[in-house]
Amino acid sequence: MEDLRTSETWRIFRIQAELVDAFETLHDLGPAVTIFGSARLGPDSPYYQASESVARRLSSAGFSVITGGGPGIMEGANKGCYGGNGQSVGLNIVLPMEQSANTYQDVTLNFRYFFARKLMFVKYAVAYVIFPGGFGTMDELFEALTLVQTGKIRQFPIVLYGSDYWKGMLEWMRGKMLPTGCIGAEDIDLLSVVDNPDDAVDVIAKYYRMCTENVPEDRRKTHPVNIAMM
């Protein structure tokens, strides 16, 4: 007879526990912005410094910041938010190489499963800011685009930081994907591209004001602006 602790059934209980813990921890977080980017870009990188600046401005404006909790761009964003008006949230996961939790987190959650962690990135976010990164960053970017395109979540700001880094991808989308008919012109319009922290925050703040203009101020923290439709 199979040992329950090593069975697929037991894995379901582990997944359930991970989700419940995250839901309960983040339930009262309020409006938050998820920031993605490479774990390999350290404090000397202009993108690290920009992520810190964006997060500091978001926190001053009352937004919490969610990252993957690791080094690089994630650390910069958590550092910028840490000690401000918003909460600095790290959704950590153990990886063979890059991941070690940074120290700038007001709220720390640890995940075994990528898909549970990815759900939390989008469920509590009113926007994404995506800095230069690798496969993981691209995964989060295109998942967000897919969820919006297919109507699984409401349209919300997906902000690409660093036009020079993203230029080739956007040119390919316009030059190959669009003419082939694989995407529509409106799909490219789901992306905003910025090159300074003020512009990134401005895109998000305008969207949030639009969503909450008829919501009493005392309810704005708990008002579901852009959570997943589930």
Entry pTM = 0.90
Say yes or no to pLDDT of 229 above 50: no
The pLDDT of residue 9: 80
Domain boundaries, the chain: 4-219
pLDDT digits (tens, 9 = 90+) for 91-115: 998 776 656 789 999 999 999 999 9
The pLDDT of residue 13: 87
Helix H, strand E, coil C: the string for the chain is: CCCHHHCHHHHHHHHHHHHHHHHHHHCCCCCEEEEECCCCCCCCCHHHHHHHHHHHHHHHCCCEEEECCCCCHHHHHHHHHCCCCCCEEEEEECCCCCCCCCCCCCEEEEECCHHHHHHHHHHCEEEEEECCCCHHHHHHHHHHHHHHHCCCCCCCCEEEECHHHHHHHHHHHHHHHHHHCCCCHHHHCCEEEECCHHHHHHHHHHHHHHHHCCCCHHHCCCCCCCCCCC
The pLDDT of residue 10: 81
The pLDDT of residue 164: 98
pLDDT digits (tens, 9 = 90+) for 157-185: 999 999 999 999 999 999 999 999 999 99
pLDDT digits (tens, 9 = 90+) for 189-215: 999 999 999 999 999 999 999 988 766
Mean pLDDT of the chain: 90
pLDDT digits (tens, 9 = 90+) for 9-53: 888 888 999 999 999 999 999 999 999 999 999 999 999 999 999
Q: Which CATH number fits domain 4-219: 3.40.50.880, 3.30.200.20, 3.40.630.10, 3.40.50.450?
A: 3.40.50.450
pLDDT digits (tens, 9 = 90+) for 129-159: 999 999 999 999 999 999 999 999 999 999 9
Give the residue, 218 or 214, on which the prediction is more confident.
214
pLDDT digits (tens, 9 = 90+) for 66-82: 999 999 999 999 999 99
